[in-house]
Amino acid sequence: MATDFRMALEELLDKRGASADFLRDSLERLVQLLMEIEVSSQIGADRHERTPERVTHRNGYRERAWETRVGTINLRIPKLRQGSYFPSLLEPRRRAEKALVAVIQEAYILGVSTRKVDELVQALGMTGISKSEVSRVCAELDEMVQEFRNRPLTGRYPYLWLDAKYIKVREGGRVLSMALVVAVGVKETGEREVLGFDVGLSEDGPFWTEFLRSLVRRGLKDVLLVISDAHEGLKEAIRKVLGGSSWQRCRVHFMRNLLSQVPKDAKQMVAAFVRTIFAQPDKAAAHAQLANVADSLEQRFPKAAEMLREAEEDILAYMAFPGEHWRQLHSTNPLERLMREIGRRTDVVGIFPNRAALIRLAGAVLVEQQDEWIAAPRRYFSQESMNKLYRSEEQLGTRELPGVPER
């Protein structure tokens, strides 16, 4: 259906003699009609219709600008109470691929491309691209990315994941390893959202602090749990900006650090022993098992036992939240796929010609990922489990949970 509709749109766009305003208005009405038809099919009922096939109800609209040959079309994409809808007409990953090509072209034109980029330019037949054309494409992408980075954040975000990835960028005549930091949150409705990202020279405290403050200025609030690695600069920033939140140290990174204190032939045994802590049914049992494990490790691996005791509150903070959420809360793994996707694109470039090029490509990938999450048929956490989270909040009043420990 979407393919036939796209062909009809192409015919409409190719008509001669019609004014741009007429074509744009006509296209906007046609696309809106298509979306209403698609969402009715997904729901199993038209608006206000009662049928046994109905699986959910509409829940308003979200605005989305769509660039076409006749100008910007303002779409009102239907939202659902359960699940989500994304128009089949919009091509996923299109902007990310466009951004990747733009970075390659820019590096080639500026004369700072690597051998790998030069080979790509030749293979893709882009040697004839003009500097003005590259600038135009970059400006379009920059506008889209900036709008995404500066959009207001609405509602409550009880869970926040933070992570970073280092990427090579040319700046001031040198090649520097820069930190790309990304924040992902879960809203009170259970839906996942890319909240923001930035690029800096390092992961020091001031950089992370300003990044978190920028999220707060845009509307981030009511964060109950922050999940991240134990980077000192990041921990300092969380204490300063999100002082009322609990902090969960990434369990995967912690296990890696712990096992570095253990001889190679004992790593598997110690890892299995430590994992019994996280297999406990509740937080009290986990604390008791951690004490047992630390005591057992004390004689042969005193450094590992000490690390375990020191990190006790940090690695078990997630257990104060609904059990349905534990698998996603104990580490930064929910961000791993996203960071791998960014890495897949940035590895093609190798060394970025400037910081703006990295922001452009990373931003395009994150925008596309956000669209995919919106289109996902299921929420990240069910509404029922999120209601349980907030019911427990109301019952406890002020939640007495550990924050980021002072070191």
pLDDT at 272 over 90: yes
For residue 210, which amino acid is it? E
- Using 50, 70 and 90 to split pLDDT, how confident is the model at 401? very low
**Strand 225-228 relative to strand 246-249, pairing:** parallel
- Are 101 and 110 in contact by the 8 Å Cβ rule? The answer is no
Q: Which of 244-258, 334-348, 366-380 has the highest mean pLDDT?
A: 244-258
pLDDT at 29 over 90: no
Q: What angle do CA 180, 184, 187 make, to 5 degrees?
A: 160
**Across 382-388, average pLDDT:** 91
Task: Provide the 8-state DSSP code for 265.
Answer: G
Least confident of 110-124, 169-183, 209-223, 236-250: 110-124
Q: Backbone phi, then psi, for 172, in 5-degree steps?
A: 60, 35
Q: Is 27 helix (H, G, I), strand (E, B) or coil?
A: helix
User: Is 164 part of a structural domain of the chain?
Assistant: no
User: Is 144 part of a structural domain of the chain?
Assistant: no
Ranges assigned E (strand) in 188-236: 192-200, 225-228
**Across 306-314, average pLDDT:** 95
pLDDT of residue 374: 82
> Count of CB atoms within 10 A of residue 123's CB?
8
Least confident of 96-105, 116-125, 389-398: 116-125
Domain boundary, last residue among 80, 98, 124:
80
pLDDT at 193 over 90: yes
Task: Provide the 8-state DSSP code for 299.
Answer: T
User: Is 325 part of a structural domain of the chain?
Assistant: yes
Distance CA 223, CA 244 (A): 8
Question: Looking up tokens 């427990």, which residue turns up?
Answer: 392
Number of Cα atoms under 13 Å in the Cβ half of residue 175: 9
Ranges assigned E (strand) in 4-146: 58-68, 71-80
- The encoded tokens of residue 199 equal 């690029």
User: Is 357 part of a structural domain of the chain?
Assistant: no
Least confident of 29-43, 329-343, 378-392: 29-43
pLDDT at 176 over 90: yes
pLDDT of residue 21: 66
- The encoded tokens of residue 151 equal 């959009």
How many domains is the chain built from?
2
User: Is 47 part of a structural domain of the chain?
Assistant: yes
Give the burial class of 309: count Cβ atoms within 10 A of its Cβ; 0-12 exposed, 13-18 middle, 19 or more buried.
Answer: middle
What angle separates helix 355-375 from helix 333-349, to the nearest 10 degrees? 140
pLDDT-above-70 percentage for the chain: 76
Average pLDDT, the chain: 82
User: Is 56 part of a structural domain of the chain?
Assistant: yes
Number of Cα atoms under 13 Å in the Cβ half of residue 318: 26
pLDDT of residue 403: 56
Domain boundary, last residue among 331, 360, 376:
331
pLDDT at 11 over 90: no
Give me the residues paired with residue 255 across strands: none
User: Is 272 part of a structural domain of the chain?
Assistant: yes
- Using 50, 70 and 90 to split pLDDT, how confident is the model at 109? very low
- Are 106 and 357 in contact by the 8 Å Cβ rule? The answer is yes
pLDDT at 327 over 90: yes
pLDDT at 329 over 70: yes
pLDDT of residue 123: 52
pLDDT of residue 134: 64
Domain boundary, last residue among 65, 80, 95:
80
Task: Provide the 8-state DSSP code for 318.
Answer: G
Domain that holds residue 11: 2-80
Q: Is 154 helix (H, G, I), strand (E, B) or coil?
A: coil
pLDDT at 288 over 80: yes
Would you say the pTM of this structure is higher than 0.75? no
Distance CA 158, CA 146 (A): 25
- Are 178 and 166 in contact by the 8 Å Cβ rule? The answer is yes
Give me the residues paired with residue 184 across strands: 161, 194
User: Is 65 part of a structural domain of the chain?
Assistant: yes
